[in-house]
Amino acid sequence: MQTILYYFTGTGNSLAVARAIADRLPDTTLIPIPMLILKGDKVRAPENANIGIVYPLYAMGLPNIVVRFFDILDLSDAGYVFSVVTEGGTFGSPTGQIAALAKQSGRNLDAAWWIQMPDNYIPPCPHRPQNPNRKPSAKTHSEKSLSSPKQSVNGSRGTSTSPQPENCSDW
Ligand SMILES: Cc1cc2nc3c(=O)[nH]c(=O)nc-3n(C[C@H](O)[C@H](O)[C@H](O)COP(=O)(O)O)c2cc1C
C-alpha cells in the first residue's frame, strides 16, 4: 500500500525520522511541506493511501507552516492518517491540534506518535536591544581587557579591534 509522508523540518530531526520510516515501509514517498505551500495548489491525498505528517513541536503546538498546509490538504480519500512529531523534551502535546486540523481536511487522525530528538530551541536573549546594529554605549568587558595595560602581553596592546559580546547585555 502506498504511503506519503508530508514533512516539515527546521534542522533535520524530522527529516531523519521521516527517512527512517520510509526505510521501513515499502512504497513510501517523502514530500516537503514548504514546497507544496510555495506551489499553493490543492493537495489531494491519493485514494486509500497512508498519509503521514511529520513535523517538529514548536511552542507546544504545530509550526505555522504545518497549520497552513492543512488549508490546501484534502484528506477525504486517504486510507489511514497519522502524525509523527519530533520534540526536544518539554511538556506539551500537539495531538489535539493536529487531530482537529485533520478532521477539518476531511479525515480523522488514526494515530499520533512523538519522538524525542535533540532540542534545537534557542531561547531569545532577554536583554537584546531593538536595534541589533546599535553600538554598545559603554566599552564591553572584552574591550576593557584588550586596552588595559595590565592585560597586555610583552608590553604590547592586543591587536584585535572587534571583541565579541560575552553575554546578552553586550549586544
Ligand atoms: C521555535 C522552536 C520552538 C520549539 N518548541 C518546543 C516545545 O515547545 N517543546 C519541545 O519539546 N521542543 C521544542 N522545540 C524543539 C524541537 O521541537 C525539536 O528539537 C525538533 O526535533 C526539531 O526538529 P527539526 O530539526 O525537524 O526542526 C522547539 C524548537 C524551535 C526551533
Specify the range with the lowest mean pLDDT, choosing from 60-74, 81-95, 99-113: 81-95
Which residue carries 514530500 as its cell? 31
Assigned C-alpha cell, 155: 608590553
Res 129: pLDDT = 60
Residue 34 CB–ligand 1 contact under 6 Å = no
Q: How far does residue 59's CA lie from ligand 1's centre (Å)? A: 7
pLDDT at 55 over 90: yes
Does 79 score more than 90 pLDDT? yes
Residues 6+ apart with CB under 8 A from 9: 15, 18, 32, 54, 55, 56
User: What's the CA-to-centroid distance between 46 and ligand 1, angstroms?
Assistant: 30
Q: Is the pLDDT of residue 10 over 60?
A: yes
pLDDT mean over 113-118? 96
What is the separation of C-alpha 140 from the centre of its chain, rounded to a whole number of angstroms? 33
CA-proximal residue: ligand 1, atom 12 (nearest): 88
What element of type H or E holds 100?
A: helix 95-104
In this predicted structure, what is the pLDDT of residue 105?
Answer: 98
Q: Which domains does the chain have, with CATH numbers?
A: 3-116 (3.40.50.360)
Task: Share the mean pLDDT of the chain.
Answer: 83
